[in-house]
Amino acid sequence: MLNEPERGSEQPDPSRERITPAYASPENKLPDYPAYALRAGCRDGIVPVRVTIGTDGNVAAQQDVPGRPLPSDECHMAFRAAVQGAVKDWRFAPAFRQKPVRGPDPRAPIMRWEQSPITIYIDFESSFQVVHGKGVVRTRRARPEQPPMVGRPKTIDEYLAVLSPDKRAALRKLRRIIRSAAPKAEERISYQLAAFRLDGRMLVAFGATENHCAFYLMSSSTVAAYKDELKKYDTSKGTIRFPPDKPLPAALVRKLVKGRIAENAG
């Protein structure tokens, strides 16, 4: 439920924003204790998971909670699979960012609130236990607060998590191709783009806008060198733009990445 606008003689600070939380649906199914894990003699375990909730209230991504590595034994792997299977179908009432906006009459004590849905993540943990020979699972929020992912991702996974499904799929494919062409490149976030660095120098990057995906070669000379192969794409200086439903061919991406490696080495 959204917060009510403030009332009174003083105007709230228009620069102040509020974040309304995401609420889990009561119909969300909790993980089951895997029957095969119980038969194998597994006992107790805890599985923390970070759930990214998109602006539509669906789960956009899930990952291990940073700083809380999961033991690699078979029991915990079974528990993790159970959590992943349940979480992917969870639904939420999305979170909103609210910003107070002054009305046309500056003397009016009541203001309207401009609101927009946002992508956030919430950390949960599922506790797996055996009670009187039966597997029991309890799930709770690992933190009382849910931090918003406020447009500044720290990893490429976080960058991809907030995108629409079509852009996320297209850029995940592009990412795999880049990594295969430059396996020693380091991933990073640079200028709010998903970037790759090799031997201390920027190599390539990718990103998404409202209308398209983009592959950044960070070199106008490389784009010019392959202008014939890129003539059917929208290009400018070191950028190639493409719609998410028409991703760049893998062979072309590999050729461009190799070209950038050679350019940086020259």
Q: What is the number of helices (H) and of strands (E) in the chain?
A: 6, 15
Phi, psi of 214 (to 5 degrees): -140, 140
User: Do 105 and 213 sit in the same domain of this protein?
Assistant: no
CATH number for the domain including 98? 3.30.2420.10
pLDDT of residue 16: 60
Average pLDDT over residues 168-190: 94
Q: Select, from the ranges 45-59, 171-185, 225-239, the one with the highest average predicted confidence (pLDDT).
A: 171-185
Backbone angles phi, psi at 61, to 5 degrees: -165, 160
Helix axes 250-265, 165-181, angle to 10 degrees: 50
In a domain, 170, yes or no: yes
Residue among 191, 221, 184, 228 at smallest CA distance from 206: 191
Which residue did the predictor score with more confidence, 244 or 98? 244
Same domain for 119 and 60: yes
- The rounded percent of the chain whose pLDDT value lies above 90 is 45
pLDDT tops 50 at residue 166:
yes
**Same domain membership, residue 134 and residue 41:** yes
Using CA atoms, how far apart are residues 172 and 163, in angstroms rounded to an integer?
Answer: 11
Residue 105's pLDDT is what? 64
Tell me the chain's radius of gyration from C-alpha atoms.
23
C-beta separation of 178 from 171 below 8 A: no
Say yes or no: 187 and 80 in one domain.
Answer: no
Question: Are 198 and 184 a contacting pair, CB within 8 Å?
Answer: yes
Q: Given 111, 141, 171, which residue is the final one in a domain?
A: 141
**108 pLDDT more than 70:** no
CB 227 within 8 Å of CB 252:
no
Q: Give pLDDT, residue 112.
A: 63
- Average pLDDT of every residue of the chain: 83
Q: Are 121 and 186 in the same domain?
A: no
- Model confidence pLDDT, tens digit, residues 180-239: 999 999 999 887 789 999 998 999 999 988 778 999 998 888 888 998 999 889 988 789
Place 69 in a pLDDT band, splitting at 50, 70 and 90. confident
- Clarify whether residues 252 and 186 are in a common domain: yes
Q: Is the dihedral of CA 116, 48, 159, 229 positive or negative?
A: negative
Three-state DSSP at 9 gives: coil
Residue 104's pLDDT is: 65
- Of 124 and 116, the structure prediction assigns the larger pLDDT to 124
What's the pLDDT at 191?
78
**Do residues 160 and 95 share a domain?**
no
For tokens 């509020």, the residue is: 18
pLDDT for res 158: 79
Angstrom distance (rounded) from CA 79 to CA 34: 7
Question: If you average pLDDT over residues 72-84, what whole number do you get?
Answer: 94
Residue 105 within any structural domain of the chain: yes
- Select the more confidently predicted residue: 102 or 137: 137
- Residue 13 domain-assigned? no
Nearest C-alpha neighbor of 119 from the set 67, 75, 162: 162
Q: Are both 167 and 253 inside the same structural domain?
A: yes
Residue 135 shares a structural domain with residue 163 = no
Cα distance between residue 35 and residue 126, in whole Å = 16
3-state secondary structure of 86: helix
Residues 97 and 55 grouped into a single domain: yes
The owner of tokens 């950390």 is 123
Residues of the chain by 3-state class (helix, strand, coil), percent to 5? 25, 35, 45
> Is residue 127 scored above 80 in pLDDT?
yes
Boundary (domain end) residue, out of 86, 109, 141:
141
Q: Which residues contact 196 (CB under 8 A, 6 or more apart)?
A: 178, 182, 185, 186, 187, 188, 202, 203, 204, 205
Is 90 exceeded by the pLDDT of residue 178?
A: yes
Residues 130 and 161 in one domain: no
Which range has the worst mean pLDDT, 8-22, 85-99, 124-138, 191-205? 8-22
Which pLDDT score, from 0 to 100, does residue 149 have?
46
* pTM as predicted: 0.50
Tokens 């919430």 belong to residue: 122
Residue 6 resides in a domain? no
The CATH number covering residue 224 comes to 3.90.1150.200
Whether residue 11 lies inside any domain: the answer is: no
Residue 231 lies in a domain: yes
Query: Between vectors from CA 26 to CA 22 and to CA 31, what angle results, nearest 5°?
Result: 100
**110 found inside a domain:** yes
Task: Mark which of 141, 171, 186 sits at the end of a domain.
Answer: 141
Is 151 a domain residue?
Answer: no
Domain count, the chain: 2
Residues 95 and 205 in one domain: no
Terminal alpha carbon distance of the chain:
59
- 245-257 mean pLDDT: 94
Residue 197 sits in which domain range? 156-265
Spatial separation of the C-alpha atoms in residues 258 and 235, rounded to whole Å: 19
The pLDDT of residue 255 is 95
Helix (H, G, I), strand (E, B) or coil at 220: helix
